[in-house]
Structure 1
Amino acid sequence: MALTLNAVTIDPADHVNGVFRYDGSGTSWTQIRGPVASNGPFGGGWGTLVEGMGDETGTAFGYSGTPFDWFSVGEVGATYAVSDDTVYKTPRDGSRILQFDGFDGDTPLWNKVGDSGFLAVGGFSVVAQMPDFQGDTFLYSGNPNDWERIGPKGGAYAIADTVYRTDPLGNTVFRYTGSGIAWDNLGAPPRGVLQIFAGGFGLFATAADFSGVYQFQDAAGNWQRIGDHSASCAVTDDTVFRVARDMSVFQYDGFDDSWTPIGRPDRVLRLFVASD
């Protein structure tokens, strides 16, 4: 499953004015959507999800694969997670977790798969924080209403080959072992972490002291600085991208702190990856 880089752009007044897809080489980008709500977009193996604006406010949309061609998936939610094969959301009151199960004719089908929670991240499965358990971390089994507690509350999350989380203060990054509530302590860049990003190319973090983007080097506490600080990163199977201070985008060359500029469709606020 190939994931493509996408960019959320903003106008001079800092309002989201478009969603663009990177064409894969050089500095060429294709616009696929105009203004959307600042809550999102969200991407993953299933595709891209956005919340509408203007006359479409209150409706969530999925991307068809053709620029500016989007289909309604029903009412917007409070939190979302896009997994490899579907989308999850919580309603505005946070009373339950819903899974998108396609359509009955033109009617989007959302079925309850969990009690109240806050969706954190998606990938091969979906992770949620459950308020009834002080925000502890739960992993969805794939069977309706079957969630496994896998650890305490995290501050930030990412999913790739497994689940990653930080402690609530961002002092340490943990990697789920896949068993019970056992996690490996991976340490962190100096003075902690703001965000973590994961994908086939590896695990990355932005440092809490804004000192740069760091890559985990497969040994606890071994994080290598690979570039300047970024407000947003995105990881594919073969590289990582970051937003520079001037809101342009750079692609990592895979060694030291060498990056290649790949342009700026507009002022880029955030990056995410999604399938076509």
Structure 2
Amino acid sequence: MVVTVLLAVALLAANQDSSPGTDVSGAPGAPPGATSASRAPESAAPPAAGSVFTIGPGGRGIYQWDGQGAAWTRIGDTAERLWAGPAGLFATGTRDRRLHVYGGRPGVWYPIAEPGRDFAVSGSHVYRLAKDGSAVFVWDGEGTSWTRIGGPAARLYGGGPGLFATDPGDGRIFKYRGRPGDWEYAGTAGAAFALTDRHLYGLTLERDAVNRWLGSRRKETEYRWTRAAGPAGALYGGAAGLFSTDPRGERLRRYDEGAGEWRDIGPAGAEVSVGDREVYRLAANRAAVFRWDRNSGTWRRIGGPAQTLTAALTH
């Protein structure tokens, strides 16, 4: 059944512009790396498949797990948040809140942008929402050069299907079509959104159903959403699929697309991050990191404690 759910942004009428972060080097603050460099490389190093990254308690230490045993490598000193995807690994500093890109070697980080309200990674691109929410930018891939691609937004969502942004006024959601100022209305407001490698999903404002966007409309009067599953609390997406908490936020479920139902896979925890094939969960007390194997359906502790975590997406 096709339904009218979700989403769009009165946003995004934009012109090409110079970087919002043209002068980010040399300012006082706490960069993620022990030897943060002043200029980013011409291309960032994409994370290895199966990697997961964490920030230690209190923002101290950035760590990488490469998918083997329980060994973690410290790759940075301090950070507040992390983003990972084909475009690379990115982190915001604990004091200056600037965005840095990982140079591929422990301790090597490059500042690429001033603070932003939100960031997102989609494919080979990283996007930034201005600190005041007034504009959306895409990193040009070198130094601190950014191009303005859209106007005001509230939140950015990046993933396999592309970049999406919500309107700061009414919560509607729009998809970026790859050219500055070119955004497509996707739907009305939702309580939450998540992207897998193929689809955009939205939770209704009443939280009583999750719907899947079917793509571009053929005509203005057509609503391109269909019901996917029942009630949910939070949504999480990645190449491994769509996941959610139950409405009480206590259990984690996997979306069974064939059956159109949620399948319980364990406790919800404090945070969840979805990778290429696995799912990672931070325990409710943040004392341990667990990895879920989709083949066996079991959880295994791989590390911890941690403040936050993010899984690498390589496609």
Same fold (TM over 0.5): yes
Q: 1:262 aligned to 290, 295, 302, which one?
A: 302
Q: Which residue of 2 aligns with 1:143?
A: 179
Q: Which residue of 1 aligns with 2:19?
A: none
Cα distance in 1 between the residues matched to 2:53 and 2:97: 23
Q: Which residue of 1 aligns with 2:215?
A: 178
Cα distance in 1 between the residues matched to 2:181 and 2:256: 36
Deviation at 1:148, TM superposition (A): 0.5
Deviation at 1:199, TM superposition (A): 2.0
Residue aligned with 1:210, SS: coil
Contact 2:86–2:123 at 8 Å: present in 1 too? yes
Residue aligned with 2:90, SS: strand
Q: Which residue of 2 aligns with 1:207?
A: 246
Q: Which residue of 2 aligns with 1:36?
A: 79
Q: Which residue of 2 aligns with 1:88?
A: 127
Higher relative contact order (CA 8 A, sep 6+): 2
Cα distance in 2 between the residues matched to 1:87 and 1:71: 14
Cα distance in 2 between the residues matched to 1:3 and 1:252: 12
Q: Which residue of 1 aligns with 2:64?
A: 21
Residue aligned with 1:262, SS: strand
Q: Which residue of 2 aligns with 1:49?
A: 90
Contact 1:89–1:119 at 8 Å: present in 2 too? no
Deviation at 1:99, TM superposition (A): 0.9
Establish whether residue 4 from structure 1 lines up as the match of residue 54 from structure 2: no
Cα distance in 1 between the residues matched to 2:313 and 2:275: 11
Deviation at 1:205, TM superposition (A): 0.7
Establish whether residue 187 from structure 1 lines up as the match of residue 218 from structure 2: no
Deviation at 1:257, TM superposition (A): 5.5
Deviations 1:109-143 (A, max 9, x none): 111101111233112311100235x1201011111
Residue aligned with 1:171, SS: coil
Instruction: Among all aligned residue pairs of Structure 1 and Structure 2, give the percentage whose two residues are the same amino acid.
Output: 29
Contact 1:5–1:274 at 8 Å: present in 2 too? yes
Contact 1:225–1:257 at 8 Å: present in 2 too? no
Do the aligned partners of residues 171 and 255 (structure 1) sit closer, same or farther apart at CA in structure 2, a change above 3 Å counting? farther
Counterpart residue type for residue 159 of structure 2 = G
Gaps of 5+ in 1: none
Establish whether residue 154 from structure 1 lines up as the match of residue 190 from structure 2: yes
Cα distance in 1 between the residues matched to 2:294 and 2:146: 41
Cα distance in 1 between the residues matched to 2:311 and 2:209: 25
Do the aligned partners of residues 156 and 26 (structure 1) sit closer, same or farther apart at CA in structure 2, a change above 3 Å counting? same
Q: Which residue of 1 aligns with 2:36?
A: none
The alignment covers a number of residue pairs equal to 259
Residue aligned with 2:234, SS: strand
Contact 1:187–1:220 at 8 Å: present in 2 too? no
Deviations 1:196-254 (A, max 9, x none): 12222221112231331101111465111011122211222222121223531122233
Q: Which residue of 1 aligns with 2:288?
A: 248
Do the aligned partners of residues 144 and 273 (structure 1) sit closer, same or farther apart at CA in structure 2, a change above 3 Å counting? same
Counterpart residue type for residue 246 of structure 2 = A
Do the aligned partners of residues 251 and 235 (structure 1) sit closer, same or farther apart at CA in structure 2, a change above 3 Å counting? same
* Structure 2 length-normalised TM: 0.75
Residue aligned with 1:48, SS: strand
Gaps of 5+ in 2: 1-45, 218-222
Cα distance in 2 between the residues matched to 1:234 and 1:34: 22
Deviation at 1:58, TM superposition (A): 4.4
Contact 1:226–1:256 at 8 Å: present in 2 too? no
Task: Please list, as runs of the form range in 1=range in 2, the aligned pairs for 1:64-83 lying within 5 A after superposition.
Answer: 64-83=103-122
Do the aligned partners of residues 202 and 58 (structure 1) sit closer, same or farther apart at CA in structure 2, a change above 3 Å counting? closer
Counterpart residue type for residue 260 of structure 1 = R
Identify the structure with the greater strand proportion: 1
Q: Which residue of 1 aligns with 2:145?
A: 109
Do the aligned partners of residues 250 and 58 (structure 1) sit closer, same or farther apart at CA in structure 2, a change above 3 Å counting? closer
- The alignment yields a C-alpha RMSD, in angstroms, of 2.2
